[in-house]
Amino acid sequence: MENLFAVVLAGGKGKRTHLSYSKVLLPLCGKIMTAWVVDAILSLNPTQIVVVASPENNTKIKEIFQNKASIVIQEKPLGTGHAVQCALKEIDAEKGTLLVACGDTPLLDDEIFQALFKLHEDKKGAATILTTKLSNPTGYGRIVRNKNGLVAKIVEEKDASPRILKIQEINTGTYCFNLKKLKDVLPSLTPSNSQNEYYLTDCIANLMKKKEKVFALELANPQLGLGVNTLKEYAEARKILNNRIKEKWLSQGVIFLDPDTVSLDYDISIGSETVVYPFTILEKGTNIGSRCEIGPFSRISETYIGSETVVQNSVLTSCEIGNNCRIGPFAYLRPGTKIEDHVKVGDFVEIKNSTIDSKSKVPHLSYIGDATIGKGVNIGAGTITCNYDGKEKHHTIIEDGAFIGSNTNLRASVRIGKNAVTGAGSVVINNVEPNSVVAGVPAKEIKKREVV
């Protein structure tokens, strides 16, 4: 929208969370809290968006939003009015609509911002406020209306009289302003309040003094205007966002056996007829195919999983898993793991930075690190690729059809030839020729293998 500019206030520390970092950096279903607000506004295609950060969270805010928004630092916490003054130094335009939102209201979506903008444009007022009504409005600024029902002023709770405290309509902290008219009244703000801060809400009263009209859009669902000020409110917001994500996948044929115990990030993908068991966590761009069984008690992040694969009681991070695989229970697949189709990785197996080709098996109690395993390989229980020499990591290669006996140690970088066999308890320190059988410590060839 060519005439829409936006400011997101993300400088608050959030003392009531008792965290050592800013509350707006709290993770919510795959992105920080403020990113939900920024991304919702970006979907409206604003001409410009400015995020106001504090000196404490500036580095992280810049890292996340550097390609999405201009970043302004509010050096001292002098209030919302001062934050907007800082932001407007980055906006050269004199005309248009300025959308102001708080970085701690992650439940506001693009439809709500669109509705607020439309009402503001249709009414052609000086300002339009997003409000809602709460049965217990403690902690929020109250909306005071005049006899005609228009907004007269907003009174912060700490400055409110007992009569005003009885008002249930509250300010969500989200506004649309006529940019020119806001710029006219911003310089007149004074810190004449109990907090000694410059309140953006005072602009409403100043606009009224100029006989300007101020409108309000009331949210029917008060939950959506939830500002996250405590960790209890954070937990509530996270639950709502998580449920939104689950509803999306439920509508596309994904089966959750106990939805309340499943945690999903926003940027995952799940194929139809996949069953997600209780206490499963799917994070960070995970992509799961159709007709899979995932969980229970599994955590999967940044991982691709093909169709008809089972992952049970396991942890997978930055992996690629093929079709018709069986993973777990209690497997740990670390970054760089690539598993082709029809592979079994069993209980208490750890794999890192390794490729396992189709129809191979690592059934149980093994560590495979920095290795390439061919097709149709069987890895016996207790096998270890000894990949680290104390200074560097080395690569192990096991070719197609090899059979690795239980409790075999493979000192990298060795190559086990095609169809070779190692005896149980062997320590392999040299390459093994194809079709040969080795055993012992160190392992030595004892015969050739006949392969049918």
Let me know whether 186 and 278 are in one domain.
no
Q: How many CB atoms lie within 10 A of CB 409?
A: 18
DSSP string, 125-188: -SEEEEEEE-SS-TTSPEEEE-TTSSEEEEE-GGG--HHHHT--EEEEEEEEEEHHHHHHHGGG
Residue 268 — very low, low, confident or very high, per pLDDT cuts 50/70/90? Answer: very high
pLDDT at 147 over 90: no
Q: Where residue 401 sits, what CATH number does that domain have?
A: 2.160.10.10
Asked whether residue 247 is domain-assigned, the answer is: no
By percentage, how much of the chain surpasses pLDDT 70?
99
CA distances from 381 to 21, 367, 388, 395, 408 (A): 46, 10, 20, 20, 8
Asked whether residue 118 is domain-assigned, the answer is: yes
Residue 1 — very low, low, confident or very high, per pLDDT cuts 50/70/90? Answer: low
Residue 14 — very low, low, confident or very high, per pLDDT cuts 50/70/90? Answer: confident
Q: Can you give the residue range of the structural domain that contains 263?
A: 253-448
Q: Where residue 151 sits, what CATH number does that domain have?
A: 3.90.550.10
Let me know whether 258 and 120 are in one domain.
no
pLDDT at 238 over 90: yes
DSSP state of 236: H
Distance CA 63, CA 334 (A): 26
Is 364 a residue of the active site? yes
| Token digits of residue 78 | 């002098």
The pLDDT assigned to 158 comes to 86
Residue 227 — very low, low, confident or very high, per pLDDT cuts 50/70/90? Answer: confident
The pLDDT assigned to 16 comes to 86
Residue 45 CB partners (closer than 8 Å, separation 6+): 1, 4
The pLDDT assigned to 133 comes to 93
> How long a stretch of residues is the chain?
452
Of the three residues 206, 225, 244, the one that is the final residue of a domain is 225
Let me know whether 107 and 214 are in one domain.
yes
Active-site entry in 120, 364, 394, 395 = 364
Q: Are 107 and 242 in contact (CB under 8 A)?
A: no
Asked whether residue 235 is domain-assigned, the answer is: no
Q: Which tens digits make up the pLDDT trace of 280-326?
A: 999 999 999 999 999 999 999 999 999 999 999 999 999 999 999 99
Q: How many domains does the chain have?
A: 2
Let me know whether 215 and 258 are in one domain.
no
Q: What pTM was computed for the model?
A: 0.91
